Amino acid sequence: EPEVTQTPSHQVTQMGQEVILRCVPISNHLYFYWYRQILGQKVEFLVSFYNNEISEKSEIFDDQFSVERPDGSNFTLKIRSTKLEDSAMYFCASSRRDTRAGELFFGEGSRLTVL
Amino acid sequence: AQSVSQHNHHVILSEAASLELGCNYSYGGTVNLFWYVQYPGQHLQLLLKYFSGDPLVKGIKGFEAEFIKSKFSFNLRKPSVQWSDTAEYFCAVNAGGTSYGKLTFGQGTILTVHP
């Protein structure tokens, strides 16, 4: 069964450092998403991405965050200057289409710890 | 903005017991409703979804959910749980007019089933 893969599974970084989280969506999917879950809190939508541009973003997704699809397979989330409050589990998801039938497939997540 | 509330943080049952997990949402317009499950060490996966039509929807592994519009609820049920149902369950809502991949999640309910 095809799946969304994420790397790294866990990253520890110092405050102020740049972090890139990587995702390989399912190959024939066209819509890509990032979500995050701060420990003990809800899973929150960050951004959706289609046709090489952001289609929707939440208020969490400020100028410190960016997303990119640098090649035909990877989908990345970059945090330019990490803060303590960026510590969270980050989930990538993809779907084949943005319709009612477009089920989201999630990766297992990347845990980011900012010290 | 819409919000989703799950009534129970942790539910503990014995095998063969019946299960009902509560989910309420706050949004006055058209919604699409989902239940996701996360088994230990695995990714979030779709259990079932409701878009329109019959308010009683059936999902995988014997789960079902009922949409009651007047109560803004979408409770998850299973008549007889198994040890393998031990997982965290998330209710999620997609508000009409936004990307179908933009989900608002509840805080999750951890289900522990004792053999």
Condensed to tens digits (0 to 9), the pLDDT of residues B6-64 reads: 989 999 999 999 999 999 999 878 889 999 999 998 999 999 999 889 999 999 999 99
Measure CB to CB from residue A108 to each of B43, B101, B104 and give the nearest one: B43
Measure CB to CB from residue B101 to each of A33, A41, A108 and give the nearest one: A33
Measure CB to CB from residue A102 to each of B90, B100, B108 and give the nearest one: B100
Q: How far is Cα A101 from Cα A19, in angstroms, rounded to an integer?
A: 33
As a whole number, mean pLDDT of residues A82-99 equals 91
The kind and range of the H/E element at B95 are: strand B87-95
Our CA-based measurement puts residue A46 at a distance from the nearest CA of chain B, in whole angstroms, of 9
pLDDT at A99: 65
Give me the residue label for tokens 């209710």.
B91
The kind and range of the H/E element at B93 are: strand B87-95
Our CA-based measurement puts residue A38 at a distance from the nearest CA of chain B, in whole angstroms, of 11
Q: Are strands A110-114 and A10-13 parallel, antiparallel or unpaired?
A: parallel
pLDDT at A102: 63
> Cβ contact (<8 Å) for A41 and B107?
yes
Residues 20-59 (A) with a CB less than 8 A from some CB of B: 31, 33, 35, 41-45, 48, 55-56
